[in-house]
Chain A
Amino acid sequence: MPSPVETAVTEIASKILRKDVDLTTVNNFKELGADSLDIIQIIVRVEDRFDIELLEEDLQNIKGIKDFVAYVEKRIAEKNN
């Protein structure tokens, strides 16, 4: 079962990239055909969806989609604490 964050990121990426995407089949957004503008838009929409801030200094160290989802979950948990 995908987590709520995975589901949301999939939905957002599908909307931005204008195609149904399966995040489990790729390592990063670029493999889905995303360029840097797509990735910025995905980040902004994820921030809006969960009312969190994703920090540039942290995002620079994100290695792939699994990392990204884990980081979003961490930021949500930090906000709730």
Chain B
Amino acid sequence: MTNTGPAISLAGRTALITGGSRGIGKAITLKLASRGADVIINFLRRRSIAEATAEEVRAKGVKAHLIKANVAEPEEIDRMFAEIQDRFGKLDIFINNAASGVAKAALELDVRGWEWTMDINARAFLLCTQRAVKLMPRGGRVVAISSLGARLTWPAYSAVGVSKATLEALTRYLAIECAPLGITVNAVAPGAVESEALKLYASQETLSRPDWKQTPAGRMVTPEDIAYLVLFLCSEHASMIVGQVIVIDGGVSLAPINL
């Protein structure tokens, strides 16, 4: 392949990545930092891990700022954005990555499990984007991390799948409202990703499948794959991609025999 243009630069941009200290979030954090963005890393529990990620970011010559906040709690979202306003005064990129969920069949799902999953995966996207947009007077980029489970079904994935379907619908509505403001809103829907989160799900019998690694492309999607796609969506080159959900799955969704 030939190089068809300059490398994407995010110098001078400020990016918030929820759940940005581990797994897919960490890969995105490091990718945006490697292209010059200052990053705000939101995390929930493990400060030592978040500090380590922040150190990796600073080694790239850009700023890293940590904010511990549970995005399931609206008050904590308010506190997080107030801190961003005070410290940075603006935001250029918001990556909605933090996620959680209960692993249950739809017929076994109770109210608490439903609300827990929806609050973190869907409501937080709405509340954070509402606040992020106010810090983007000159335009910006919003990217949400979805899942193939929004459209396809996996055992015990009902709560997460439905929450991600909500996130995808919200992506479209937000995108249309934000486009006139120079802000693009898009989502990325990965298939099974080689990550700690997958190990957690796969350790539960209902989700342990021997064929996760089988994709037409010959390997699983990695956090790095997703980070490159997110980087592109955050770039100037992606200004006309509005309200789309971009699947990144090595072709799995086109070859359901492997699911």
Contact = CB atoms under 8 A, between A and B. Distances in A.
Contacts, number: 14
Contacts of A47: 45
Contacts of A44: 44-45, 70
A37 B45 contact: no
A20 B65 CA distance: 39
A53 B45 contact: yes
Interface in A41-60: 44, 47, 53
B237 interface: no
B116 A53 contact: no
B70 A53 contact: no
B46 A37 contact: no
Interface in B97-149: 102, 112-113, 116
A36 B117 CA distance: 13
Nearest to B49: A53
A53 B48 contact: yes
B116 A37 contact: yes
Contacts of B112: 35, 37
B47 interface: yes
Interface residues of B, number: 10
Contacts of A53: 45-48
A53 B45 CA distance: 7
Contacts of A36: 102
A35 B44 CA distance: 20
A44 B48 CA distance: 15
A37 B113 contact: yes
A37 B102 contact: yes
Interface string B74-102: 00000000000000000000000000001
A44 B112 CA distance: 17
Nearest to B70: A44
Nearest to B68: A48
14 contacts: A35-B112, A36-B102, A37-B102, A37-B112, A37-B113, A37-B116, A44-B44, A44-B45, A44-B70, A47-B45, A53-B45, A53-B46, A53-B47, A53-B48
Please give me the 8 A-B residue pairs with the lowest Cβ-Cβ distance, nearest first.
Answer: A37-B116, A53-B46, A37-B112, A53-B48, A47-B45, A53-B47, A44-B45, A37-B113
Given A36-B102, A44-B44, 11 more contacts: A35-B112, A37-B102, A37-B112, A37-B113, A37-B116, A44-B45, A44-B70, A53-B45, A53-B46, A53-B47, A53-B48
